[in-house]
Amino acid sequence: MVSPAIALAFLPLLLTLLIRYRFYFVLFYRAVLLRVWRDCRTGLSREERCFQYVLTNATPGDPESILDGFDSWCTKKEFISHIGPKKGKILDRLLSEHSPLTVLELGAHCGYSTVRIARALPLGARLFSVEMDQKNAAIAEKVIRLAGFDEALVELIVCPSDEVIPRLRADFDLEKLDFVFMDHWKKCYLPDLQMLEGSGLLGKGSMILADNVLFPGAPNFLRYIRRCGLYEWRVHRATLEYSKGIRDGMAELVYQGTK
């Protein structure tokens, strides 16, 4: 057993670590421990619990009400890694400035960002939203339709991104993507970006916005865009959605074409 004297010697270090990394401990509790406990207690997934809350508290056909429902759940109940309202305003502004007609979303999850994007698109635009998890995609489909968006505006594609991207031109008659939002597996950011480059779907001025590039982080993706010379780019500094004290950021890329 550890003697009391040794335990007391380590107490200041332990307190220092708890204070310094308190926001990460809170995130671990909300995102992992609380989730596992409620999964076992309810027999429902975190995403299913969130959808039930939104369905009960939001107004059908009102995208803002649905987004507010998600934000309320994720703030007060359980953590889900949606883009959230603060970083969402950056996405809103870029969509408003560029008015894209063809949009690709990689990582629909529960449909939060899909609804956020769809509500900002001009008349005649199309949003292709990709989600590989079938259970999450089923929830996203319900959320998108609950918000009032039909398949003419939003098409949900249930498939891994690396299988969808090579087929976009042939299967969906796409010539160019005006806007791409990445919020799926961070390890996929770089290979999917390079796949988009190779597909010919990025034209001069095409914009890519990638979330969570600082936390959990996408270092290979950031290293590539710094060195490749194909983009004008910047990182919007922010904090992690529905959290305090955890630094994060969104990478904004504008494709300039091959050099």
- Catalytic, 252? Answer no
pLDDT < 70 regions, the chain: 1-19, 258-259
Query: In sequence order, what are the residues at sequence separation of 6 or more whose Cβ sits closer than 8 angstroms to the Cβ of residue 224?
Result: 190, 193, 194
Q: Which of 183, 192, 248, 252 is catalytic?
A: 183
Hey, what amino acid is at 150? D
pLDDT value of position 20: 73
Q: Which of 192, 212, 248, 252 is catalytic?
A: 212
- Catalytic, 212? Answer yes
- Catalytic, 220? Answer no
Domains in the chain and their CATH numbers? 84-255 (3.40.50.150)
- Catalytic, 186? Answer yes
Q: What percentage of the chain carries pLDDT values higher than 70? A: 92
Judge whether 118 and 149 are in contact, CB under 8 Å. Answer: yes
Q: What is the pLDDT of residues 194-239, one digit of tens each?
A: 999 999 999 999 999 999 999 999 999 999 999 999 999 999 999 9
Q: Which of 47, 131, 192, 241 is catalytic?
A: 241
Q: Which of 141, 186, 192, 252 is catalytic?
A: 186
